[in-house]
Amino acid sequence: MTTHRKRICSLFIALLLSLTGVFIVFPEHSGTGESHAADLTAAEKTAYNGKSPYYIMVNRQMNTVTVYGVGDDGRYSVPLKAMIASCGRAGHETPTGTFSTPDSRYKWRLMVDGTYGQYASRIHGSILFHSICYTSADKNTMISSEYDALGSFASRGCVRLQTADAKWIYDNCPTGTLVTIYDSSYTGALGKPKRAVESVSGSANSRWDPTDPSSSNPWKLNITSAVSGTGSGSVKGTGAYRYGTNVTLTAVPAEHCVFTGWYDEDGNYLSSDSVYSFTLDREQKLTASFRRQASVTAAASASGKASGSCSVDPGTQVTVKAEPASGSTAAFTGWYDRYGNFISNETSYSFTADNDTELYAMYEGDNFGDVPADVWYKSYVDEAVSRGITSGVTPVIFDAGGSFTRAMAVQMIARAAGADLSASGSNPFSDVPADQWYAGAVRWAYENGIVSGVSENKFAPNQKISRQDMLVIMGRYMSSVEKSTNKGEKSADADNSLASANADSSADDYTDGLGYTDSADISDYAREWIVYAAQHSLVSGYDDNTLRPKAILTRAEGTAFTVRMMRSLDN
């Protein structure tokens, strides 16, 4: 048959059927792949008919349903909702055309093959919208293999949908709703959705449609996340939720990173909002993308102040500024990096931030760029430097919050003692090589009974030291000095003597007269030495009246302990 004769035949059939109340439009494109912009759907060409606010387009070729609403132009031009479907398989093809739905809908409908469909709405003749089939009119009898086939040709001519979608049409599309069934490789303005669950077969809940709104439905859909990009971060809000739940995910950038967007599992961009909310219609994995930024830290030594710290995209021009602190007359000596390398003598220094950068404005007379004037440990650090018992981790960085190791502890006490660290002697520890910077201090401390190893032949020089262990080492050293200089001897009754001095304190609040609410946490081997340290004012607790004996010692605390020890011995 020629194309011309086909068109005449089609027009004749359409005219004939229109007399019976059924108006059929054969779409212009049929699997040819034209873009949406080049070929409007029948819905978008149709004026609002006053009967239904919706127009349903069923793309038979792509097993997709798109619902259109009425736009400002008075036509069904606004795509509102997309559904995955199963149209008729070979031999049971779903008929094409445009139909006006009759007044015929059923919560449960017996199918020609003896199965049942939920929320059935008649399209035309024996063709209906309905859910996946069930073996009985019971929500817990869905045929799981048919759910897994959703999106392919699987029905006997009807348009099968997920239960929630079938119910939406059942609830919202009145008699007279226009339905066009057609073929096209263009899936529609909203694309082809995925099933709520990729496969229900093999699941403990396989007999339920995951989208069924029944309160008895055992399904919960999983929302998982991933992180991508040059930066890092985390996602809050993932988990298992019921279908139709409003889910909110929050992207939390790591330090010096920024959030750049959400993407679905196919890599499609979703949103730039770090707090992203959506209605859950399927299990999915969303990816939060982060971008690393260059961190700029500008700090000043105690006699100055600095500004310009920021996080910026690499390649950004940044300016840091230094000025004297209030009342300071100290001279600015320059900007230095964290390793003590001189950078610039300009108080206002501009540069391109390509990587993380730390800059320290140093002023004459100051020791470190990270020890401000108003911190509690400044006087201890300055005194320790002047006494020659400590130095920074770099020429400009003290790192007050850094942890002390066992090697650092004995090194500082050995320096305080003025020990000859170059002298030869016995060293029973296999993990203290003779060429290490701490070897002389460990040898001296061991020979003088100040330290012992963590085992018979292991010292663990790089192991972090607790507050109580530092006080034990200091107490042993001070006791040995007092004995050798006849200044006194650590009393064997030190616990009792200090307890007597605090006899008025509540026994419920204090242990051994120390006055700390966590004195019970002190290890037995350390208790008498901590009492001794308290007698000599080597240690003070925290504002909450705790000692925290097993907390890791910081460099600031270790320096303060050692300076107090030296002051006590000076007296």
> What CATH number does the domain containing 270 carry?
2.60.40
- Asked whether the predicted pLDDT for residue 501 surpasses 60, the reply is no
| Residue 497 shares a structural domain with residue 471 | yes
- Asked whether the predicted pLDDT for residue 261 surpasses 90, the reply is yes
In a domain, 204, yes or no: no
| Residue 309 shares a structural domain with residue 324 | yes
Q: What per-residue confidence (pLDDT) applies to 495? A: 35
Pure H helices in 290-371: none
| Residue 397 shares a structural domain with residue 511 | yes
> What CATH number does the domain containing 38 carry?
2.40.440.10
| Residue 126 shares a structural domain with residue 261 | no
In a domain, 187, yes or no: no
| Residue 359 shares a structural domain with residue 488 | no
| Residue 547 shares a structural domain with residue 411 | yes
Q: Which residues span the domain enclosing 322?
A: 294-370
Long-range contacts of 455-460 (CB under 8 A, 24+ apart): 456/428, 457/428, 457/429, 457/430, 458/429, 458/430, 458/431, 459/406, 459/429, 459/431, 459/432, 460/406, 460/431
In a domain, 533, yes or no: yes
In a domain, 109, yes or no: yes
| Residue 364 shares a structural domain with residue 452 | no
Report the range of poorest mean pLDDT among 23-32, 224-233, 248-257, 445-454.
Answer: 23-32
Q: Which pLDDT tens digit goes with each residue over 11-48?
A: 443 433 333 333 333 333 333 334 444 457 899 999 99
| Residue 532 shares a structural domain with residue 556 | yes
Q: How far is CA 318 from the centre of its chain?
A: 29
Q: What per-residue confidence (pLDDT) applies to 504? A: 32
Query: What value does the mean pLDDT take over residues 54-77?
Result: 97
In a domain, 195, yes or no: no
| Residue 279 shares a structural domain with residue 300 | no
Report strand pairing: 64-69 vs 284-292: unpaired
Q: Which pLDDT tens digit goes with each residue over 314-347?
A: 999 999 999 999 999 999 999 999 999 999 999 9
Residue where a domain terminates, one of 292, 323, 352:
292
Q: How many CB atoms are located within 10 Å of the residue 191 CB? A: 14
Q: Are 97 and 181 in contact (CB under 8 A)?
A: yes
Residue where a domain terminates, one of 118, 153, 182:
182
| Residue 270 shares a structural domain with residue 325 | no
In a domain, 457, yes or no: yes
Q: How many CB atoms are located within 10 Å of the residue 38 CB? A: 8
Q: Which pLDDT tens digit goes with each residue over 155-189?
A: 999 999 999 999 999 999 999 999 999 999 999 89
Q: Per-residue confidence at 514, pLDDT binned at 50, 70, 90?
A: confident
Question: How many domains are there within the chain?
Answer: 4
- Asked whether the predicted pLDDT for residue 110 surpasses 60, the reply is yes
Long-range contacts of 164-167 (CB under 8 A, 24+ apart): 164/196, 164/209, 164/211, 164/212, 164/213, 164/243, 164/244, 164/281, 165/65, 165/83, 165/84, 165/211, 166/117, 166/118, 166/119, 166/120, 166/121, 166/129, 166/130, 166/131, 167/118, 167/119, 167/131, 167/213
| Residue 346 shares a structural domain with residue 259 | no
Mean pLDDT, the chain, integer: 88
Q: Which pLDDT tens digit goes with each residue over 376-404?
A: 999 999 999 999 999 999 999 999 999 99
Residue where a domain terminates, one of 345, 370, 395:
370
Q: Per-residue confidence at 487, pLDDT binned at 50, 70, 90?
A: low
d(CA 312, CA 334): 24
In a domain, 298, yes or no: yes
| Residue 451 shares a structural domain with residue 352 | no
In a domain, 202, yes or no: no
Query: What value does the mean pLDDT take over residues 491-499?
Result: 35
